[in-house]
């Protein structure tokens, strides 16, 4: 299967052993191309993958720079695939996330954030920008 090969290759680039849960979870991210919550993943994945394995796999992916956290307006933590710039030494992207109020999907938008100057004494750890609106697909659908 082509997708599994792609997963294997991706795992190899990150120096990770290829295991069925890793393959399966990574496969989901590649297939869905929008941010997924724990619940989304649990719903999609075959039932014999337990919560602990899922939790651990996501943690490993986060640490290795495969996926990053996406904060949603509902307060649910979601995850999305990183770009090539990320590795276990750190994540390198302060991009914008877009939540569609029509389909409810959250996507990474590849637009760079304008430099934000903080007052003296403040330092940035993480930046989360969430824009809400109608996504490309939904606006196309409403025109037809
Ligand atoms: Zn990243
Ligand atoms: Zn949408
Ligand atoms: Zn993102």
Distance 64 CA to ligand 3 centre (A): 15
**CA 141–ligand 1 middle distance (angstroms):** 31
Say if strands 95-100 and 77-81 run parallel, antiparallel, or are unpaired: unpaired
Strands, E assignment, 1-144: 36-37, 67-71, 77-81, 95-100, 106-112, 129-133
Q: What's the 65 CA to ligand 3 centre distance in angstroms?
A: 12
Instruction: Summarize pLDDT for 73-102 with one digit per residue, the tens.
Output: 888 899 999 987 788 888 887 789 999 999
- Residue 109 CA to ligand 2 centre (angstroms): 13
Assigned token pair, 45: 């994945």
Residues whose CB is under 5 A from ligand 1 (ion)?
A: 68, 82, 86, 91
On whether the pTM is more than 0.95, the answer is no
User: Which tens digit of pLDDT belongs to each residue from 27-73?
Assistant: 999 999 899 999 999 999 876 788 899 999 999 999 999 999 998 88
Rounded Cα distance between 19 and 99, Å, is: 32
What SS3 class is residue 24?
helix
């Amino acid at each position: 299967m082509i997708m599994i090969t792609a997963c294997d290759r991706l795992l190899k680039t990150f120096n990770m052993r290829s295991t069925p849960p890793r393959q399966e979870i990574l496969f989901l991210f590649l297939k869905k191309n929008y941010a997924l919550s724990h619940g989304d993943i649990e719903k999609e994945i075959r039932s014999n993958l337990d919560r602990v394995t899922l939790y651990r796999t996501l943690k490993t992916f986060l640490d290795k720079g495969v996926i990053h956290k996406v904060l949603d307006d509902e307060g649910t933590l979601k995850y999305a695939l990183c770009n090539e710039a990320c590795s276990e030494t750190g994540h390198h992207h302060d991009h914008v996330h877009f939540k569609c109020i029509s389909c409810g999907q959250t996507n990474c938008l590849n637009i760079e954030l304008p430099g934000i100057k903080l007052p003296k004494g403040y330092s940035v750890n993480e930046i989360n920008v969430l824009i809400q609106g109608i996504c490309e697909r939904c606006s196309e659908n409403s025109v037809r």
